[in-house]
């Protein structure tokens, strides 16, 4: 399940595990105010096998989403582009494709969106040589690509933006790399205590990075304690 909270704290967007529907809830009333996509009735197959969700065309897929800075719009990102809708009504405001080439519509994978819904980070390219591209959601403009380090597949929740959108953090093996944007300049390489870490989040002031594992362990890193790019020690394990 994925969720996003609006900047004013009044709306919450929630995606089902199958990513076929997004619901928007008014937190003051507890009622759903908008929905996107369809959620088929859950009917397990013979032997309790999970049903197969029909594949959607690239233009209809949604993999990441975030509210705009004023909380009035919701940005829905997928492999074909970004769709901006009114958060409370679901009315589409604009659609920005990543490319106009039909052959390339299904070859871009959004992996992160800034908290204000302004920028989207996408990956592309063949396995073993995938690249990251920073894209402006309003214009679709793509900044220069930079290569992902060896050991990162470019999928999943192991990539995230800082709160101000000026850095990204991503997990590579037993390290977390923190890069400055938009040039992809490395700022920190943080050593993880073990494998199994798969998700991360920056604090609101961008000074702390939290990294979570599949076993429930959370590691906290103080990003401003070192001035060099050498590996940083774990400052605290929760």
* 238 residues of the chain, pLDDT tens digit each: 678 889 899 999 988 655 467 889 999 999 999 987 655 545 555 666 655 656 666 667 788 888 998 999 999 888 888 889 999 998 999 998 887 776 665 567 777 888 888 888 887 766 666 777 888 888 878 876 766 655 554 444 578 889 888 888 888 888 888 988 877 777 888 888 888 888 888 988 988 888 888 888 888 888 887 433 334 455 555 5
CA distance 23 to 212: 26
Q: What pLDDT is stored for residue 54 in this prediction?
A: 60
Token pair of 205 as six digits? 């002031």
Instruction: Give the gyration radius of the chain's Cα atoms.
Output: 18
Q: What is the pLDDT of residue 12?
A: 93
What pLDDT score was predicted for residue 153?
46
Write down the domain spans for the chain.
1-41+52-117
In the block, tokens 């592309």 appear at 124
CATH of region 1-41+52-117: 2.40.10.480
pLDDT of residue 107: 64
**Buried b / exposed e across 181-193, counting CB within 10 Å, b at 16+?**
beebeeebbbebe
pLDDT (0 to 100) of residue 227? 37
> In this predicted structure, what is the pLDDT of residue 127?
66
- pLDDT for the residue 155: 47
Q: Is 102 helix (H, G, I), strand (E, B) or coil?
A: helix
- pLDDT computed for residue 215 by the predictor: 82
Task: Using DSSP bridges, classify how beta strands 231-232 and 185-191 pair: parallel, antiparallel or unpaired.
Answer: parallel
- Which token pair is 54? 């029909």
| pLDDT score, position 230 | 39
∠ CA(191), CA(4), CA(36), 5° rounding? Answer: 135
0.75 exceeded by the pTM?
no
């Amino acid at each position: 399940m994925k969720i996003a909270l609006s900047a004013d704290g009044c709306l919450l967007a929630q995606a089902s595990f199958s990513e076929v529907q997004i619901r928007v809830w008014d937190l003051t009333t507890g009622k759903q105010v908008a929905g996107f996509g369809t959620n088929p009735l859950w009917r397990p197959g013979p032997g309790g096998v999970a049903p197969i969700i029909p594949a959607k065309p690239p233009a209809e897929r949604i993999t990441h989403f975030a509210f705009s800075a004023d909380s009035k719009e919701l940005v829905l990102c997928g492999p074909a582009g970004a769709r901006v809708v009114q958060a409370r009504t679901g009315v589409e405001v604009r659609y920005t494709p990543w490319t106009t080439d039909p052959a390339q519509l299904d070859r871009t994978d959004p992996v992160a969106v800034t908290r204000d819904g302004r920028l989207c980070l996408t990956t592309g390219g063949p396995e073993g040589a995938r690249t990251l591209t920073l894209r402006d959601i309003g214009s679709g403009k793509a900044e220069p690509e930079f290569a992902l380090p060896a050991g990162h597949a470019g999928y999943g929740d192991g990539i995230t933006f800082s709160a101000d959108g000026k850095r990204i953090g991503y997990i590579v093996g037993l390290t977390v790399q923190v890069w400055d944007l938009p040039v992809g300049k490395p700022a920190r390489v943080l050593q993880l205590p073990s494998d199994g870490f798969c998700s991360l989040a920056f604090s609101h002031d961008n000074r702390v990075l939290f990294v979570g594992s599949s076993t429930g362990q959370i590691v906290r890193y103080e990003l401003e304690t070192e001035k060099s790019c050498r590996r940083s020690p774990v400052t605290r394990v929760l």
